[in-house]
Every structure is written in C-alpha cells, then in structure tokens.
C-alpha cells in the first residue's frame, strides 16, 4: 500500500488505529512479556553473606544444645541452595522455615532462636539469595522448598509427620506449595496472604488488567490449598501490618478447613512479629506444637 494511501487509511480508521495501539500496549506489558520485571518487584535478595552472624549462631547453637550444620542442598544439576540446619538431639519435631522476600537467612537469627525452643530448625535461602546459586522466581523458590523438605527426609531421616512447615510472608506461599506435594505434620503461616495475585492487585493497578492464567503457575494461592483438607494450621499475623494487612489471615482462617487457629498479635507489624508481643508469639506456637 503506497504511503499516501496508508495515511488516508489511518485517518479514516482512527478507532481501529487506537485499538491496535492499545492492544499492542496491553500485550507489551503482559506477564508473558515482562514477567522478569514482575519478579523484580517480588524479590529483594541480599546476595551477600554476612560473616558477622557467626557469633550469634554459636550462641544459638550452645543455648539449645543443637548441632549447626551449614549445608548446600541440590535442587538441580546446576542449582544448590544454602541452608542452616540446627539439629536438636532432644527434639522430635523439625521446623522447615521458608522466609520472606527480602534479605537472606542472615537476617532471620531472632526467628531461628525463637523456633529452636520447639524443635530442630532448617532454614534455607532461595535461589539468588545469600550463598544460593541461581535466580529467584515463583517456580524456582517453590522447587527450593521441596528440595529442602526432601533433604530432611532423605538425608537426615526426619519423618514426614514430624516436619512442621513455617512460612514467613512470601514463604507462606512456598509452604503451602510444599504441603500440596509432600506430607507434613503441621503448617504455621506468619504474615501471609490469601492469594499472591489478589495481594498484588490490592497494591498495584497493572496486575488487575490481566487474567490469572496469564501469570502462569504457580499461582501461590494459599486459600485454594487451605480450602482442601490439610494438616493442622496456625495463622500468626501482626494487627499493625501495613504491608500485608491482617485481613488476609482473617480471610484465610474463615475459608480454611479445620483444624485451624488464628492468633493476631496486637502490637506487631510486618517485620517485627518475633520481637513484639514475643510472649504471645511463643505461647501460640507452644500450644500449637503440643496439640500435634
């Protein structure tokens, strides 16, 4: 078509031109095209390992008569994730910790110290965090969680019924994905959400424009998992959380199957759950562990 004729066509078909431009823009910003950008908004890894944590680790190790093992767990031929395994000889249960989207395991010492009161603890870094190789994505971190679980069962001989999944924020989605694929004795979700997509849509306009299927699996839909039969569930959430409001845990509790329990920490926000309302936090986990 000659240039003059093409211009005439565009003038006569302005609506069609606008539609094509709008469709092109819509497709350009779709999750299929800019999926890595969505991941960059979701993950905030610290790739640096902080040697200054060694002294606190020794304190934790000695305080609970646990043996600290620094391990690298293979996820695939090319990917290994870094983990700390605190093994208590006097404990029956093991808590498998999937942490939030920021930092790395070096930032979770207060959490580890608290959870060691209730059993052995394995806490690991997702791909691209700390010493772990690879690059984080929704599918990758879920595979990391399953690999950490399999390490406990296959390499350490921990019985599935003695593994308690502990998810922190983003890790709640990982824990729920693990529970879909593996047998566990219980699930603790701290500062979680009902669905990752619904939480994203609450905070940003762009994800509201695209259907669920366009984001690809895993959806990390905790509500869909917990609506079905599941192990005993404890939900912990700070009432002052302005990142993932406690209404998410209220909704999860309302929709989840039994057995379930919800504990709201009145003075805690998103990043200080372990430190604020500490006694209520510890008592809630203690009661839950005793009920298993």
pLDDT value of residue 1: 47
Alpha carbons 104 and 47: distance in angstroms, whole number: 8
DSSP string, 197-214: HHHHHHH-SGGGGS-GGG
pLDDT above 80 (res 14): no
Alpha carbons 137 and 111: distance in angstroms, whole number: 24
Half-sphere exposure of 176 (CA within 13 A, CB side): 31
Section 166-177 average pLDDT: 96
Portion of the chain with pLDDT greater than 70, in percent: 72
- 36 or 2: which carries more pLDDT confidence? 36
Section 203-225 average pLDDT: 70
pLDDT above 50 (res 97): yes
- Ramachandran category for residue 51: left, alpha or beta (phi over 0 → left; psi -120 to 50 → alpha): alpha
Alpha carbons 132 and 205: distance in angstroms, whole number: 33
Alpha carbons 253 and 76: distance in angstroms, whole number: 35
pLDDT above 80 (res 219): no
- Assess contact for 46 and 104: CB atoms under 8 A: yes
Q: What does the DSSP 8-state code read for residue 55?
A: H
pTM of structure: 0.85
- 233 or 36: which carries more pLDDT confidence? 233
Mean pLDDT of all residues belonging to the chain: 85
Alpha carbons 230 and 146: distance in angstroms, whole number: 17
- 51 or 170: which carries more pLDDT confidence? 170
Alpha carbons 93 and 41: distance in angstroms, whole number: 35
Give phi and psi for 72, each to the nearest 5: -120, 115
pLDDT value of residue 257: 95
- Assess contact for 183 and 205: CB atoms under 8 A: no
DSSP string, 17-53: HHHHHHHHHHHHTSHHHHHHHHHHHH-EE-----GGG
Other C-beta atoms closer than 10 Å to the C-beta of 117 total 15
**What residue spans of 64-185 are helical by DSSP H?**
109-115, 138-150, 170-181
Tokens 């010493």, located at residue:
131
pLDDT value of residue 80: 97
- Assess contact for 252 and 243: CB atoms under 8 A: no
pLDDT above 90 (res 211): no
Section 208-217 average pLDDT: 61
Binned at pLDDT 50, 70 and 90, residue 194 comes out as confident
- 195 or 75: which carries more pLDDT confidence? 75
Section 23-40 average pLDDT: 61
pLDDT value of residue 68: 74
Q: 70 is written with which tokens?
A: 């620094």
Alpha carbons 246 and 111: distance in angstroms, whole number: 20
Section 163-186 average pLDDT: 97
Alpha carbons 32 and 197: distance in angstroms, whole number: 15
Q: 106 is written with which tokens?
A: 């070096």
pLDDT value of residue 188: 98
Give phi and psi for 78, each to the nearest 5: -105, -20
User: For 129-161, how does the pLDDT look when each residue is reduced to its tens digit (9 = 90+)?
Assistant: 999 999 999 899 999 999 999 999 999 999 999
């Amino acid at each position: 078509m000659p240039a003059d004729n093409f211009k005439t066509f565009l003038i006569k078909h302005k609506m069609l031109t606008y539609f094509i431009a709008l469709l092109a823009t819509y497709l350009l910003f779709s999750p299929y095209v800019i999926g890595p950008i969505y991941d960059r908004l979701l993950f905030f890894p610290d790739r640096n390992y902080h040697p200054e944590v060694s002294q606190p680790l020794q304190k934790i190790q000695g305080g609970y008569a646990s043996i600290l093992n620094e391990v690298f767990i293979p996820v695939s031929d090319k990917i290994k994730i870094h983990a700390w395994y605190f093994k208590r000889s006097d404990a029956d249960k093991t808590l498998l910790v999937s942490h939030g989207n920021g930092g790395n395991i070096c930032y979770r010492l207060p959490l580890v110290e608290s959870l060691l009161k209730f059993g052995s603890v394995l806490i690991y870094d997702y791909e691209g965090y700390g010493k772990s190789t690879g690059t984080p994505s929704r599918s990758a971190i879920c595979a990391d969680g399953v690999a950490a679980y399999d390490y406990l069962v296959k390499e350490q001989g921990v019985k599935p019924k003695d593994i308690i999944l502990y998810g922190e924020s983003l890790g709640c989605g990982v824990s729920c994905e693990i529970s879909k694929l593996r047998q566990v004795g219980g699930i603790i979700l701290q500062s979680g959400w009902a669905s990752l997509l619904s939480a994203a849509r609450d905070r940003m306009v762009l994800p509201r424009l695209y259907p669920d299927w366009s984001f690809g699996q895993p959806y990390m839909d905790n509500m869909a998992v917990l609506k079905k039969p599941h192990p005993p569930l404890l939900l912990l959430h700070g009432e002052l959380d302005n990142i993932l409001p406690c209404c998410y845990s209220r909704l999860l509790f309302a929709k989840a199957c039994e057995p379930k329990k919800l504990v709201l920490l009145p003075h805690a926000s998103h990043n200080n759950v372990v430190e604020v309302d500490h006694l209520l936090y510890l008592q809630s986990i203690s009661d839950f562990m005793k009920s298993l």
